[in-house]
Amino acid sequence: MAVKEIVIQPSNIENIDTAMFEYVRDLELQTHTNDGLQITPVVWLGTERAYQIKNNKSLRDDVGKLYLPMMSVNRESITKDPNFKGIFQAHIGEHPDYKGGVVTIVRRIQQEKTRNFANADTSRLRKGDETGRRKNEKIVYEEITIPNPSYITVMYTLAIRTEYQEQMNNLVAPFISKTGNINSFLIERNGWKYEVFVQQEFAETKNVDNLAEEERMFETKIQFKVLGVLIGEGLNRERPKVTIRETRTEVRISRERVITGDKRPWAVKDKDYREF
Amino acid sequence: MSKDDKFKKQHQPPPPLFLGEKERDFVKQVNDEIIERVVGQQVLYFPIDIDHTNYHPLYGEAVEKTFLPPVRVYALVEYQGIETQFTQGMGIDKITKLLIKFHKRRLTEDQELFVREGDFVRYGDIYYEIVKLIEPKLLFGQPEHRFEIQAECIRTRDGLFNGS
């Protein structure tokens, strides 16, 4: 049976950001507007000015004023808390060579070298055909290792802005009720899963109690705490993202020899021997 | 009295006597002449090409920006000087601002250019980013005829945009 290999890129901050954003966007939360039932657009806060103005023109009218309701996702902070240790708790130093790597994630048989060991053992038993089925205990594995995972807590704020109280009710309710009586759910991207906790407070800001000359508006901010993991330093890592090493099957100790005048009488060709 | 001389009710009311198309064209002509022939300040306008710039799909940012062919524009430029600014946690920095007053009709009708936030202009040898737009005036109070676009610009760092 053919082995299916799945390529998984290391988890990084961008992957966590994208997973969080895509989760909110893919909820496709709807609410009533004067154009009927509409999906509320979600944007990532803090894009460049030209991108904001020119990328998605459906977010604004002819003059450039934003259509509401609208939601934005923003990353507030990243914390590396020593109390949050994650699944892989121990700190193990990397191999002190150029390859590095700590945590073995995959082990596969190195076919060629395993076969060589088997054939070498067979050739000691019979001459002529060295191949054939035989129990072989000298199996060479390739171990794939990655750097130590670093566990982080990332805080996001989802800002919901609407023109009507009804719209706000429609958009906030899923974040309260979707997870039932617990506050957590999983987000996923590129094979990585992160646990998200909806924070308790749904902070409302509105100006209806003192409208004065301002535009009537409603805003709610919901905070999400994401338990994330980083694998490696990203672009600035000096060692490879993934390291492949072969395991040992046999330890050989060569015969001690004197420096000069030590011939091997049984060897037909003794290239290593040097007469000084 | 012939039948043709009889007063007929028009479908639409007549245009205002002195605030019609001819007067608007006259205003444009005078403004063009003052801005281009008398004052003569010009900037080079770099519209960012959203289709060909490789923006990050999430963060909406691009280290290398692609722009449409730059357009030479006559405008009234108010140079607001170079100021020292202390950037928190970094040290002494400099900030330079411009206020550019574009003649809207000249841009949109003659040069097919639309001023947008996030585009860049070159004034002298320095690039500026448009950060704020104001359209303060209507011509003759007619809402469909906006007259002027003021663009507040800040000097860009080399890492943000380089049109050369």
d(CA B64, CA A38): 35
Instruction: Tell me what the pLDDT averaged over chain B comes to.
Output: 91
* Dist CA B152 CA B78 (whole Å): 10
pLDDT tens digits, A138-159: 999 999 999 989 999 999 999 9
pLDDT at A235 > cutoff 70: yes
Nearest chain A alpha carbon to B134: A63
Task: For chain A, give the mean pLDDT.
Answer: 89
Nearest beta carbon to residue B60 from set A14, A44, A64: A44
CB A226 within 8 A of CB A153: yes
- Do residue B118 and residue A44 have CB atoms under 8 angstroms apart? no
For residues B108 and B110, what is the distance between their CA atoms, to the nearest angstrom? 6
- Report ipTM for this prediction: 0.83
Q: Whole-prediction pTM value?
A: 0.83
Distance CA B82, CA B143 (A): 37
Is the per-residue pLDDT at A165 higher than 90?
yes
Q: What is the CATH number of domain A13-87+148-236?
A: 3.30.2000.40
Put simply, whether B62 touches A (Cβ < 8 Å) is yes
- Asked if residue A31 lies in contact with residue A249, where contact means CB atoms within 8 angstroms, the answer is no
Q: Per DSSP, what are the bridge partners of residue A202?
A: A222
What phi and psi, each to the nearest 5 degrees, are found at residue A176? -85, -45
Tens digit of each residue's pLDDT (9 = 90 or more) over B34-44: 999 999 999 99
Q: Which chain B residue has its CA at the smallest distance from A43's CA?
A: B58
Give the number of residues written for chain B: 164
Q: Which residue has the tokens 């990397």?
A: A94
CA-based nearest distance A77→chain B, Å: 16
Distance from CA of B98 to the nearest CA of A (A): 17
B118 and A CB contact within 8 Å: yes
Query: Encoding tokens for residue A222?
Result: 């919901």
Average pLDDT over residues A176-188: 93
Q: Residue A161: CB partners within 8 Å, gap ≥ 6?
A: A68, A69, A70, A71, A72, A217, A218, A219
DSSP state of A62: S
Cβ atoms of residues A71 and A160 within 8 Å: yes
Domain residue extents for chain A: 13-87+148-236, 103-146+242-269
Question: How much is the pLDDT for B11?
Answer: 84
Model confidence at A115, pLDDT cuts 50, 70, 90, reads very high
Q: How confident is the model at residue A6 (pLDDT cuts 50, 70, 90)?
A: confident
Q: Does B121 touch chain A (CB under 8 A)?
A: no
Which residues in chain A have their CB less than 8 angstroms from residue B131's CB? 49
Contact A54 B118 (CB under 8 A): yes
Residue A273: per-residue pLDDT: 57
Span of A195-199, B53-57, B137-141 with lowest mean pLDDT? B137-141
For B153, list phi and psi in degrees, rounded to 5: -125, 150
Cβ A237 vs Cβ A167: under 8 Å: no
